[in-house]
Amino acid sequence: MDKVPEQTTSGAGHARTVQDYIDETPFWADGTALRNGPMTAMQWRIWWLSIAGKFFEGLVVFMTGVALPLLAKEFGLNEVEHGMVAAATLFGILIGASALGALSDHFGRRPMFIFEMIVFTVFLVVIVLAQSVVWVIVGLFGIGLALGCDYPTAHVMISESTPSRTRGRLVLGAFAFQAAGALAGTAVGYLVLSADPALGAWRWMYAVAIIPAVPVLIGRLFVTESPHWLAARGRHKEAEHALKRLLKRAPPYPLDIDLPGADTEGSPKKEAGYGALFEKKNRRALVLASVPWFLQDLGTYGIGIFTPTILAASLGHKRENAQSVADIVQNDLLAAEGAAMIDVLLLAGIAVAVLLCDKVGRIRLQVAGFIGCALGLFLAAQSAAFDGPMKMVLIFAGFMLFNFMINLGPNAQTYLIAGEVFPTKVRAKGAGLAASFAKIGAVITAFFFPIVLADFGTSLLLYVLVGTSLLGALTTWLFRIETKGVSLESVGAEESRELPA
């Protein structure tokens, strides 16, 4: 369609809500309505700046997998310290998601959107300059705090500024950059090691992340506050102003924005606390948002962080009992190559999820994804009974299927669902608490993974993760709430919103 619609109102009316205006589409002079309206410059700016948090999470977490062997050698890490380094970022996310992310329900989405990027940049510098493993752990934990804050904050920044019919694919489109970051983290580790095959190369890996962090921080200074949040707080005039700024486009539509209460100075509404999440009307949503996410994180982060280690050990290409810097670097390079091949499937999985989430729905994709993950892990576990080419085929086939299905289903859908199933007043708290609970699983896996690998081997751990994946599918189905195409303002209106037949 080449020309702009001549009329840009789709039916006015009184007492229209924030989401009504965001969802409005233009129509032609003959009355034919457009299916979708164009996104505004501000909506796209929010989206582009929101993808950074997901990208940085994938970058740092997966880059840590490449950096770990170098850190272990430089600081002489034992198994416990090794686990602490691996789990530090994830533990920071656990704390940050609820302790910092929930603050966007109190202070607003925009202030926390900016603050988290300041924290992220500062602690990157701490890691680069670290002279002991203690400061490395502090730096990784601080980065985790920032990334944890981003879980609910970036999600609600996107979901509260975009149309209901395209919200799913826009949120998941941003989430896709976690997979892009994972691939970039492995690639950065490989390229830095290739250019500087020394123990200190891990510092350059983290220094690279500072380069994009600074412009993202600057860009976040120029976004508008969420009109949903302002309206929920009773700040109607400010909500109307923010909505006009959010929907500024040429030709303009909606032609007029008139929110209920904007003509008066409403008193701020009482803020809901964490207790509201445990009320009957939100309890089902809390279980759906938290438990499956916890179960999928058991596998996602354990497999993701230690994919290089597992591949190097399982494929037998590494130099055993490596002590020299050259041998350690060589093992790391080989492992990074194999991990990069498998991580590509993360991008493929999320790409399919973006295409299907607003058509098939969140619940069906999450259930199918969990089952696919279980199958992939089961295939990888069978490799213990084989040697030679068959062993390699099973490992790569299993891990590739796992990475594809995890991002098609639970890794993407749990993030999307957690930011949609709670009412506006507690949306960030709910999403943050769900993310924190999920990261308990990630921390457990990251901390104990090296110990389990050393004492029990790969197969037992993979079989355990097969069971947790199947349990995730069952929990998702039993507590299902489908949010495909549902207006955020209707969330919480009913006590049970099940999957439609």
Tokens 């700040």 belong to 235
Q: For residue range 115-147, what is the model confidence (pLDDT) as tens digits?
A: 999 999 999 999 999 999 899 999 999 999 999
Judge contact between 259 and 233, C-beta under 8 A: no
* Lowest mean per-residue pLDDT among 16-25, 232-241, 390-399: 390-399
Q: Which amino acid is at 240?
A: E
Q: State the pLDDT at residue 80.
A: 79
Q: For residue range 442-461, what is the model confidence (pLDDT) as tens digits?
A: 777 766 766 776 677 677 87
Using CA atoms, how far apart are residues 121 and 460, in angstroms rounded to an integer? Answer: 39
Q: For residue range 309-324, what is the model confidence (pLDDT) as tens digits?
A: 555 554 444 444 444 4
Q: Which amino acid is at 124?
A: L
Task: Look at the alpha carbons of 422, 427, 431, 437 in this order and tell me if their dihedral is positive or negative.
Answer: negative
Q: For residue range 192-238, what is the model confidence (pLDDT) as tens digits?
A: 888 887 888 889 999 999 999 999 999 999 999 999 999 988 898 99
Q: State the pLDDT at residue 286.
A: 93
Domains of the chain listed by start with CATH number: 41-228+279-490 (1.20.1250.20)
Mean pLDDT for all residues in the chain: 81
Residue 7, beta-bridge partner list = 27
Q: For residue range 227-275, what is the model confidence (pLDDT) as tens digits?
A: 999 998 889 899 999 999 999 988 777 778 888 765 554 455 666 677 8
Write the burial class of residue 17 (CB in 10 Å: 0-12 exposed, 13-18 middle, 19+ buried). Answer: middle
Using CA atoms, how far apart are residues 412 and 426, in angstroms rounded to an integer? Answer: 21
Angle at 413 between CA 460 and CA 439, to 5 degrees: 55
Q: State the pLDDT at residue 274.
A: 76
